[in-house]
Amino acid sequence: MIAKLETEKKAPKQGMLDNVMRQFDNAADIIELNTNIRKILEVTNNEIVVHFPVRMDNGEVEIFTGYRVQHNNSLGPYKGGLRYHPTVDIDAAKALAMWMTWKTSLAGLPYGGAKGGIQIDPTKYTNAELERITRRFTYALGDNIGPELDIPAPDVNTNPQTMAWILDTYMSTKSPAERSTNMHVVTGKPIGAGGSKGRDRATGYGVFLTIKFWAENHNIDLKDKKFIVQGFGNVGYWAAYFLVNEGAILTAVQDAYGCITNEKGIDVDKLLEYTQSNKGSILGFANAKKIDSSEFFSLDCDICIPAALGNQITAKNASKIKAYLIAEGANGPTDVDAEKILLKKGIDIIPDILCNSGGVIGSYFEWLQNRNGEIWSLEEVMEKLEKKMKESFTNVIETSKKRNVDMRTAAFVIAIERIEEAYTQRGIFP
């Protein structure tokens, strides 16, 4: 689960849609995107809103609102996560679905973009209630998801267990003869329920790889470089784990509960162990001191990894950032106005649609294994993931130099051009 943030309650929910549209318009202008294709990509294909009742442990019934937005499927089935969070609404889902379209296109995957979730604070419900909520949500979505139509995955506050519940519910709606052919309706499943080895660390490993590739490209040694991580969930932990193994030093972590720092370094595995016994919170960890969360982005470091929610780096705090590299582990953590400030300061940004694409690439590998009845080793998965990430990173760097644009713009250009080519070759029905 990606960690929640203390600051997220103050963050505007609608900001991400404005950001993704401005990013899209910028790249579309540069490549002089066909006006008809532009009209198609500016809107989502389908926006599904479901209201469904669930009986709570006390016998009372609550009504929940769930969303699934399907942006574009010109390259293949819709793909994207499901998040359980109070900020989930139709605009947030639209923005995230669009980012998924660009992300899968950039990675060269046969997918389109989707996103969804439930407007809920999962900490207020028991595990049994979350299971019933998840199963009822799956049933409400019905045939709007499917292994060759729309394939959900874990996101904020959802995990392999969530996916296992969705899988079981979805399969139970099919005839016995069809059930085993629907294993790939979701990815990010537990290993025993058809999941892939390496999927748990794929996103964080991808974040690490893009930082490593960037460092190699700039002739920088990661040994002894200081980095800070916002969000100590699945993505933040694994990114930190691999960076520390490379010799870098984790000096600060922020999560939903607060912020801790230690200039000499924070032990990643000990911190994970501590959070698992402390209701997910990093506060109180013995080998670090607590500081105010508002100080996080102004801390002295070389690399900053925002790995929680969107709109965390804004025009208000961008000027305080001391890192020379920002690696976006989260989706949309940097707003457009903040990015202008950062680029002017000479700070490089590895954009989310490249940086955290290891997750959807790992999901693609799981989908392939389920589809083909194969089981790959961890080494095989990690090797294929590195190769795919390297290819994407190289394409972005080359396009960035060729067009004299920043990495995000280059990534969007590649992604949009691939989709434009598909429409140009296939035509538009009727």
How is 58-76 classified by DSSP, letter by letter?
Answer: TS-EEEEEEEEEEEE-SSS
CATH of 43-184 given 3.40.50.10860, 3.40.190.10, 3.60.10.10, 3.40.50.300: 3.40.50.10860
Mean of pLDDT over the chain: 94
Instruction: Please choose, from the candidates 150, 202, 5, the residue with its C-alpha nearest in 3D space to the C-alpha of residue 85.
Output: 5
Report the binding-site residues.
Answer: 79, 103, 203, 234, 363
What is the C-alpha to C-alpha distance for residues 286 and 271, in angstroms, rounded to an integer?
Answer: 9
13 is catalytic: no
SS3 content of the chain, % helix, strand, coil (to 5): 50, 15, 35
Cα distances (angstroms) measured from residue 207 to each of 92, 211, 237, 349: 23, 6, 11, 12
Instruction: Please choose, from the candidates 116, 83, 84, 113, the residue with its C-alpha nearest in 3D space to the C-alpha of residue 98.
Output: 113
Structure confidence by residue, pLDDT tens digits, 62-98:
999 999 999 999 999 999 999 999 999 999 999 999 9
Residue 3 has pLDDT above 60, yes or no: no
pLDDT interval class at 20 (50, 70, 90): very high
pLDDT interval class at 343 (50, 70, 90): very high
Structure confidence by residue, pLDDT tens digits, 261-308:
999 999 999 999 999 999 889 999 998 999 999 999 999 999 999 999
> Which residues is 118 bridged to in the sheet?
66, 84
**What are the residue ranges spanned by the domains of the chain?**
43-184, 196-429
CATH number 3.30.465.10 is the correct assignment for the domain at 196-429: no
Catalytic residue among 4, 115, 189, 226: 115
Residue 413 has pLDDT above 80, yes or no: yes
Cα distances (angstroms) measured from residue 44 to each of 108, 114, 138, 151, 416: 21, 9, 21, 17, 15
Report the binding-site residues for NAD(+).
Answer: 203, 234
pLDDT interval class at 12 (50, 70, 90): very low
Cis peptide leading into residue 430 (ω within 30°): yes
Instruction: Please choose, from the candidates 117, 163, 164, the residue with its C-alpha nearest in 3D space to the C-alpha of residue 309.
Output: 117
Residue 7 has pLDDT above 80, yes or no: no
Residue 430: the pLDDT is 82
Q: How many CB atoms lie within 10 A of CB 139?
A: 15
- Which residue bears the tokens 């990894």? 305
Report the binding-site residues for substrate.
Answer: 79, 103, 363
H or E element at residue 325: strand 325-327
Strands 258-261 and 289-291: what pairing?
Answer: antiparallel
Cα distances (angstroms) measured from residue 252 to each of 18, 84, 262, 316: 30, 26, 6, 20
**Are the folds of 43-184 and 196-429 the same?**
yes
Q: 80-117 b/e with 16+ CB inside 10 Å = b?
A: bbbbbbbbbbbbbbbbbbbbbbbbbbbbbbebbbbbbb
Structure confidence by residue, pLDDT tens digits, 103-127:
999 999 999 999 999 999 999 999 9
Phi, psi of 394 (to 5 degrees): -60, -45
